[in-house]
Structure 1
Amino acid sequence: MKRSQDSVSSPRKPSKHKKAKIAPNQVVPHASTTVTRGDDHDAGGEAEWTRVEKRKAKKNKKGEAKHDALMPRFMYVNGEIVKRKDAVHINDVRDLVLHIVADAPPPNWVKVEHARSIEKVVTLLIPGILPSTLALPPLPTSATANPNIPLSIPLPAESHTPIPFIASTYSHACPTRAPGDQTRMYSVLSEFFQCQVTPQEKAKRQAQRASQRAFDSTPALYMLTLKEMIENEYPIPSYMADVFEKGPGWIETPQVSEESLLLLPADKLDSKIYAIDCEMCLTEDGKELTRVCMIEYESGIVVYDKLVKPPKPVTDYMTKWSGITESLLASATTTVAEVQAQLMPILAPKDGPTSILVGHSLESDLRALRICHPRCIDTAVIYHHPRGRPLKPGLAWLTKKWLNREIQTRGDSGHDPEEDARACIDLLRSKLRYGPSYGEFKTDFESIYERMGRASGRGGPGSVRSVVVDHGNPAVMHGSKASSNVPCTSDEEVLEGLLQTIPAHEFAFARFTGVADALGWLTPKTSAGETPAVTPAEPSPIVLASAQATLNNQLVTLYASLPARTALIILTGHSDPRRMASLNARKSTFESAIRSGKKAEDIDKADWWTASDGRELEEEVEKAKRGLLFLGIK
């Protein structure tokens, strides 16, 4: 809730509204405007029409003043919030944004007065702002008190908060709850950016699926489009699009002319399909190819399987994933360039069309091979993660879920590329047998940007322009459907990106991670083979204070640049996830050891996973899911 606004939930004395002002770009006719008389034969008639312009000007001025007086504002509806089982969810915040920007129905937990008067919406995800940061009271533990009601934020002078912008701009902080289950917290970004489709869009999709059933037996139906290849960072041949820069040692599958295809006999027109899987080891130059296996789809015959000698000495064989050992690779003599030469006749046969490659996250294999190939089927794309896009499912999980068999169970011995390639073949066959919707989750969900693009308000479909300003490359993740994307490497670049793009967009999303980084929340995920930290280390007070001061200055600068009637929505998403992550890593390590054939007595008791550990994990997950929401309009 904005600090200066009236609010039914605020105990403070309501502030008086300023007098309505006429925007500087509005033309107000002068009061003495008159109309030149055309003739004077009817003075009475003239008296009626000579004042028409003045009456119109007065009416317009009154309408403009009324529009100015209809200042939009947020008001929490505590009566509805107390009825909820949990705090406000991330998808509730998403639906609030869609209500303002698009055509979603109004939420019941917050009232938006004069929502159509809001010109722009800027949503910021800023993990690391904790209740203690703003001197908020602890969550009530009494059975008669509700922990989900918005909390009044003390003024900066009272709280000595390191981020005074929040305390001086917003009067209340609304508790939120991140998505997840009992043992895990799910992606806040995924929850925010994915929404259910409207009934009209759902009916349209069902009709499309029905029309596709006639083509279910054609594997080419599942080939990635150029757009999908770009979104998933595939190395793309230059004749498809000039978007990928090939470095030294790269080749591309040659383009086949339509004329040459017309000369082929009928029995040669169908493309050959091959499943491929590669294994990599680590050198000083990064991951390098060390084994490649290719299987023909129809016959199931292994047509290529070779160890590959990296161009530089191996620094880490990554055996637990690659299955490659020093002794196994010692006999390898084939180079990457030789592999390319040997594979190209298979990928581009002289007596047929270009072959189709099948793989799981196939872009990684093609990058290891340094080959740009145009025709690809990716089981990580045609099958869905249970929590929807942009998350991708793992191959072992897909095989267990949809083929009812287990792979990658050799423990520290690593993966078998032939086993993985055969799993991809069987997944494609199941897709062809059961149809396009097989293996899909949340088929009736879409990106919020698709929803905004179809919105009929604010000028009609296509009138809402959106932008994502975020670390990394948002264009291949949550921003893939937005009008614009600004990739960043620092919070400074995020701020600069917002300042440049907000004027031309109706909705903007950005993430500031400096405070979370200072708190140690952005450390790399602990892998199953590593020993997790039992207790997260405390952040440096000096580093944390500097990050908080920097964030405050960035928010002040951003707010000053926002045009009037811009809704600034800030959510923290979650609390400290480190203890939850370390417990989950320990649980995964223990379960992996048991799956690999070890008995409990063969494992150090300190590494056992017990019922007590399970209860602690559930408690830490609940703590990590807690977040805060701040609503305001400039």
Structure 2
Amino acid sequence: MEPQVCLKRKREPSPTPESSKRVKETDGNRVPESEHRSGSRAPRLSLPFDRLQEPVTLKDLTELLQFAALGNTGGLKQPSWCRLHRQKNVSGVSVILLEGLSQAHFYRHYLHFKHLRTKYTSRHSYTPSPGNVISEIFSSEVVNNSPADALGDQKSAQPEGGLQWHPVIRKFGLETRGLTGYLLTQEEMINKHFPVRGMPGSEGFVCTDSDDCVTDSSPLYGLDCEMCLTERGNELTRISLVDSRGSCVLDELVKPPNRILHYLTQFSGITRAMLQPITTTLREVQSKLKKVLPRDAVLVGHSLENDLRALNLIHPHVIDTSLLYRREFGRRFKLKVLAETVLKKQIQTEERKGHDPTEDAQAALELAQYFIHTGPRQVVELYCEELWGGSPTMYQPPVNRATSTHNNNNSSLRFSEALKSSGQSAVFIGKRADNTLDLSNQQWHSSDREVLSSFKRGLDSHSFSVVQLSSFSDHLKAMISTDHHYHTV
């Protein structure tokens, strides 16, 4: 994707007709001559000669965004790869993510991009990031260089070992608790894209017959599903459910209602021959699940939101092992890694063709049971080096959000936190995304037209905006899937 950055200029006290117009600048090293003649004080970028042909990385982009939003008053230095002139005149920053659109598309259809040609006078290649760009922007670390030593006081008060700053301990604390202490809240489920009653994208989903509340003695059930690729996307082909003893209580192959494009046998283990005689439908499986699960059941899985979405099922009480053994910045361990390290079990081996959902459901269940029984402190102490790659001393205390960014010395916090503590309003507009913003700062829409309309309405309401346009990317994926089908069937 090619991110486009807009810097909104502060209005001058006594504007002239020329200087009062909105000026938008991106990663360019020149401004129009008319602006020089009018004495414009618009912010602009300049690059050293040796960087003009260099692609911009995600690290470069976040450096620029942080300085543009927080600047010298926030204790930040100029970006290492460019210089932002008149940063004090920046009243807001907008980042537009055009998924799937590259410079090759831009130059191939150059005449159709009149707005981009005139508003963005200089363009640079962007090196795609393997992770989630939105999450990386908001969770990027902001290093503060101002003279105060507030963080030093926090470090001096930190007990030896720094265990409490580990991501698991920061979330769950040091004390062992019952299973209800590890249930996802409704807000966490929404943030992690679980199907939730009344939320966009969950229309038509079936709800289990569940009690409003569960207890520490409620039964755990491990769940895992396998999917294949159809004309409508990923659809269910197999489901496995195990009870709290690890015994399989449901293992069903399922016939997708839409034409299958790819069986994904390498991962699912499902083949054409296996599904050919199957007549079981998704609706039948949903009905069986509702009968098997008691009203106070707690479902356990690894990245369980994908399984529940494949099942078109809403269940309010869940534990996700990828979020129990949590990592920094939204990253997740693979189930295979956790099973091998914690349970000393080999699953998803290369000798086997595809995953065994019963085996995966049992592994997730055992991982949850072990975590609940052992407690977060001992889990971290036992596996900190093997799983998280270091001792607890490597984890540093987070900065107090109530402390302003300009009151810390070489302190660090996430960009979203720095924006909030400096009194700036940030917003994400687009499809559901896993990022560090509060839910109140996220606006989810199903089409680019709705995204653009929402962005225009709130243009002056937020000082930092990230806008995701994805219809072009969806179109490309559909074309690739269709083309792949024609070449493989």
Quote how far apart the aligned CAs of 1:120 are: 1.4
Find 1:95's aligned residue among 59, 63, 77: 63
Shift of 1:115: 1.9
Task: Note the residue ranges of structure 1 that are not aligned, 5 or more in a row.
Answer: 20-68, 136-158, 180-184, 262-268, 349-353, 457-462, 533-634
Is the Cα contact below 8 Å between 1:283 and 1:314 reproduced in 2? yes
- Aligned partners of 1:379 and 1:502: how far apart in 2? 39
Instruction: Check conservation: 1:309, 1:334, Cα contact below 8 A.
Output: no
SS of 2:292's equivalent?
helix
Mapped to 1, the partners of 2:481 and 2:142 lie a distance apart of 33
Whether the aligned pair in 2 keeps the contact of 1:193 and 1:448 (CA below 8 Å) is yes
2:118 is aligned to 168
Q: Distance in 1 between matches of 2:35 and 2:283?
A: 77
SS at match of 1:215: coil
Q: How far apart in 2 are the matches of 1:13 and 1:283?
A: 54
Give the deviation of 1:171 after TM superposition: 4.0
Instruction: Pick the aligned partner of 1:495 from 447, 452, 455.
Output: 452
From 358, 380, 400, the equivalent of 1:418 is 358
State the shift of 1:500 in Å: 1.2
What are the within-5 Å matches in structure 2 for residues 459-474 of structure 1?
463-470=423-430, 473-474=431-432
| AA at the equivalent of 2:243 | I
TM-score in terms of structure 2 length = 0.65
Q: In 2, distance between residues paired with 1:502 and 1:440?
A: 41
CA distance in 1 between counterparts of 2:103 and 2:474 reads 14
Structure 2 counterpart of 1:273: 220
CA shift in 2, pair 1:124/1:319, >3 Å: closer
1:477 matches 2:434: yes
Residue among 396, 407, 410 paired with 2:347: 407
Q: What does residue 210 of structure 2 align with?
A: 253
Aligned partner of 1:427: which letter? L
CA distance in structure 1 between the aligned counterparts of 2:96 and 2:190, rounded to whole angstroms? 27
The alpha-carbon distance between structure 1 residues 166 and 218, as it changes in their structure 2 partners (threshold 3 A), is same
What corresponds to 1:128 in structure 2?
101
Inter-CA distance 417–163: structure 2 relative to 1 (3 Å threshold): closer
Cα distance between partner residues in 2 of 1:504 and 1:384 = 34
Deviation at residue 435 of structure 1 after TM alignment: 2.8
Encode CA deviations 1:217-276: one digit per residue, 9 max, x unaligned.
Answer: 644443212211112233446xxx88896748533312259xxx8xxxxxxx63333322
The amino acid of 1:292's aligned partner reads: S
Q: CA deviation at 1:359?
A: 0.6
Q: Are the aligned partners of 1:468 and 1:482 in contact in 2 as well (CA < 8 Å)?
A: no
Question: In the aligned structure 1, how far is the partner of 2:291 from the partner of 2:472?
Answer: 51
Q: Deviations over 1:464-515 (max 9, x none)?
A: 2222232xx23x4347536533434444333322211212111122234566
Corresponding residue pairs, total? 415
Unmatched tracts of structure 2, length 5 or more = 1-5, 8-22, 145-150, 397-411
Instruction: Provide the rounded CA distance (Å) in 2 between the counterparts of 1:236 and 1:305.
Output: 24
State whether residues 276 and 421 of structure 1, in contact with CA within 8 Å, keep that contact through their aligned partners in structure 2: yes
| Partner Cα separation in structure 2 for residue 14 and residue 506 of structure 1 | 27
Pair 1:254–1:489, CA change in 2 (3 A): closer
Match of 2:38 among 4, 15, 18: 18
Aligned to 1:225: 185
- C-alpha distance 215-491 of structure 1, shift in aligned 2 (>3 A): same
SS at structure 2 position matched to 1:427: helix
Q: What is the rounded CA distance, in whole Å, between the counterparts of 2:89 and 2:361 in structure 1?
A: 56
What amino acid does structure 2 have at the position aligned with 1:336? V
Cα pair distance change 1:195/1:524, threshold 3 Å: farther
Which is higher, the Rg of structure 1 or of structure 2? 1
Instruction: Say which of 328, 336, 354 aligns to 2:285.
Output: 336
What secondary structure sits across from 1:168 in the alignment?
helix
Which residue in the other structure is 2:380 paired with? Answer: 435
Which of 280-289 and 215-224 deviates more?
Answer: 280-289
Instruction: Rate the CA distance shift 1:336–1:490 in 2: closer, same or farther, 3 A.
Output: closer
The match for 1:73 among 28, 37, 43 is 43
**3-state SS, counterpart of residue 435 of structure 1:** helix
| 1:293 corresponding residue in structure 2 | 241
In 2, are the aligned partners of 1:216 and 1:435 still within 8 Å (CA)?
no
Deviation at 1:398, TM superposition (A): 4.6
8 Å Cα contact 2:30-2:46 kept in structure 1:
no
8 Å Cα contact 2:139-2:436 kept in structure 1: no
Residue 373 of structure 1 corresponds to which residue in structure 2?
Answer: 315
The answer to whether the 8 Å contact 1:294/1:304 transfers is: yes
Q: Secondary structure at the match of 2:293?
A: helix
Which of 418, 437, 448 does residue 451 from structure 1 map onto? 418
Q: In structure 1, the residue corresponding to 2:455 is in which secondary structure? A: helix
- 111 and 423 in structure 1: CA distance in 2 versus 1, 3 angstrom threshold: same
Contact 1:281 1:318 in 2 (8 A): yes
Residues 337-372 of structure 1, C-alpha deviations (whole Å, 9 max, x = no match): 652453233xx3xxxxx3432111223444556654
Q: Does residue 359 of the first structure (1) align with residue 304 of the second (2)?
A: no
Q: Matches of 2:335 and 2:88 in 1, distance apart? A: 46
When structure 1 is superposed on structure 2, of 435-444 and 354-363 the one drifting more is 435-444
Distance 2:336 2:29 in 1: 50
Report the CA distance between 1:336 and its aligned residue.
3.3
**Amino acid in the other structure paired with 2:463:** E
Alignment pair present for 1:119 and 2:91:
yes
CA contact (8 A) 1:276 1:295 kept: no
Matched residue, 2:76: 105
> Comparing 279-288 with 301-310, which one deviates more in the overlay?
279-288
Q: 1:396 to 1:413 in 2, by over 3 A?
A: same
Shift of the 17–254 alpha-carbon distance from structure 1 to 2, 3 Å rule, reads: same
* TM alignment of 1:530-549, pairs within 5 A: none
| Contact 1:281–1:314, Cα closer than 8 Å, also in 2 | no
Q: Distance in 2 between matches of 1:79 and 1:214?
A: 53
Secondary structure at the residue paired with 2:459? helix
Aligned partner (choices 468, 478, 485) of residue 511 of structure 1: 468
1:58-82: CA deviation from partner (whole Å, max 9, x where unpaired) = xxxxxxxxxxx7x242232517959
Judged with a 3 Å threshold, the aligned counterparts in structure 2 of structure 1 residues 530 and 228 are, in CA distance, closer, same or farther, namely: farther
- Structure 2: how far apart are the matches of 1:98 and 1:128? 24
